[in-house]
Amino acid sequence: MFTAQQIAILINAKIEGDASVIVTSFGKIEEAKNGQLSFFANPKYEDYLYTTQASVIIINENYTLKEPIQATLLRVNDAYSAFATLLSKYQEIQTQQLKGIQEPSYIAKSAKIGENVFVAAFAYIGENVIIGNNVKIFTGVFIGDNVQIDDNTILHAGVKVYAECKLGKNVIIHAGTIIGSDGFGFAPQQDGSYKKVPQIGNVVIEDFVEIGANTTIDRATIGSTFIRTGAKLDNLIQIAHNVEVGSNTVIAAQAGVSGSTKIGKNAMIGGQAGIVGHLTIADGSKINAQSGVSKSITEPNQAVTGSPAYDYTSALRSQAIARKLPELEKRVKELEKQLQQLLIEKSV
């Protein structure tokens, strides 16, 4: 339960209306009820701004109202970002309340556990594991031998972290994700069979990374698979052995990155995109959904699409021309008829 005044302090907002009004939960602007807080950032939802029952609304400071509204307004520079900040604070308060070790759970005697750590029932923590302060480990999490987990990291239900892997500070990993399973390494033999290549490296996840549910990140054959600081990975993503995902790069669901590919910082990769192995993807690259990248992107801030992927603008032009092909075919046939008629007349 918070007042508008308390919320304004958290997000550095200017108050318009009753600063003492109380909210107890959050609601979407089209569904919010009295006593709830909402936000308005997308112009498509403008009509709901004047009909919502929300008690408090976070809104951009430069937005001009067309009609009077009953809610208390919290004016900020960026409403969407401020709302995200507020939700983070709310979630932080909730998770901070979780402390202690539930039973039954297994923690090896050689493991080192920091302060204010929460370990839920049915978690497993292996030998020589080092866990920092304020870490939250939920039900069914497996942490293999010699894993290191730094402060404020959260592992949701069913996460598996294989031996030797390292997780930085403020990392969030959602349910069912597997960190450090074997890379896909098999050597073809003369008889047509395949011999497994042992995968003896690890996975290193740096600070402020968030990884969605049921994503898999393979350990390196030798060395490390890297997820750099601030990267955000969606659900159902496959990251192969020895891949490097650069700082603040975002990857949407069902994308796959093959072995030893290096992705630069601030890249954006759409859903179901596929990147073959041993490539370099330059900083700031934008790869459209369902694109197949088979060659390195060497120039920063390029956008590509298609399979095989190529320059986004050129691809749009090609698509526009392709849509006109039936009409062009008709015109060519008409010209052929006219040319044939001219030849007949000339011969006569």
Q: What is the pLDDT of residues 62-112, one digit of tens each?
A: 999 999 999 999 999 999 999 999 998 888 777 777 889 999 999 999 999
Tell me, what CATH number does 7's domain have? 3.40.1390.10
Which structural domain, as residue segments, surrounds residue 217? 159-308
Structural domain includes residue 105? no
- 284 lies in the same domain as 213: yes
130-182 confidence digits (pLDDT tens):
999 999 999 999 999 999 999 999 999 999 999 999 999 999 999 999 999 99
- CA-CA distances (angstroms) from residue 263 to 89, 279, 301? 31, 8, 12
Tell me, what CATH number does 220's domain have? 2.160.10.10
Q: Which of 66-70, 125-129, 206-210, 311-315 has the lowest mean pLDDT?
A: 311-315
Q: Which of 281-285, 307-311, 326-330 has the lowest mean pLDDT?
A: 307-311
- 87 lies in the same domain as 215: no
For residue 217, is pLDDT > 70?
A: yes
Residues 221 and 278: their CA atoms lie apart, in Å, by 14
- 304 lies in the same domain as 324: no
- 303 lies in the same domain as 320: no
27-36 confidence digits (pLDDT tens):
999 999 999 9
- 89 lies in the same domain as 184: no
Residues 179 and 141: their CA atoms lie apart, in Å, by 11
- 287 lies in the same domain as 341: no
- 227 lies in the same domain as 326: no
pLDDT at residue 347, as a whole number: 74
Cβ-proximal residues to 212 (8 Å cutoff; 6+ apart), any chain: 174, 177, 233, 234, 235, 236, 237, 253
For residue 323, is pLDDT > 90?
A: no
More confident residue, 311 or 347: 311
pLDDT at residue 348, as a whole number: 62
Domain boundary residue among 96, 112, 141? Answer: 96
Percent of the chain with pLDDT over 70: 99
Average of per-residue pLDDT across 206-225 = 98
- 171 lies in the same domain as 303: yes
- 191 lies in the same domain as 248: yes
Q: Where does the pLDDT of residue 342 fall: very low under 50, low under 70, confident under 90, or very high at 90 and above? A: confident
Structural domain includes residue 106? no
Structural domain includes residue 209? yes
Q: Which residues are catalytic?
A: 241
pLDDT at residue 62, as a whole number: 94
Tally of domains within the chain: 3
**In terms of pTM, does the model score above 0.85?**
no
For residue 327, is pLDDT > 90?
A: no
Percent of the chain with pLDDT over 90: 83
What mean pLDDT value characterizes the chain?
A: 94
pLDDT at residue 79, as a whole number: 96
Structural domain includes residue 121? no
Domain boundary residue among 56, 78, 96? Answer: 96
Structural domain includes residue 54? yes
More confident residue, 75 or 314: 75
- 252 lies in the same domain as 295: yes
- 231 lies in the same domain as 90: no
Residues 148 and 268: their CA atoms lie apart, in Å, by 29
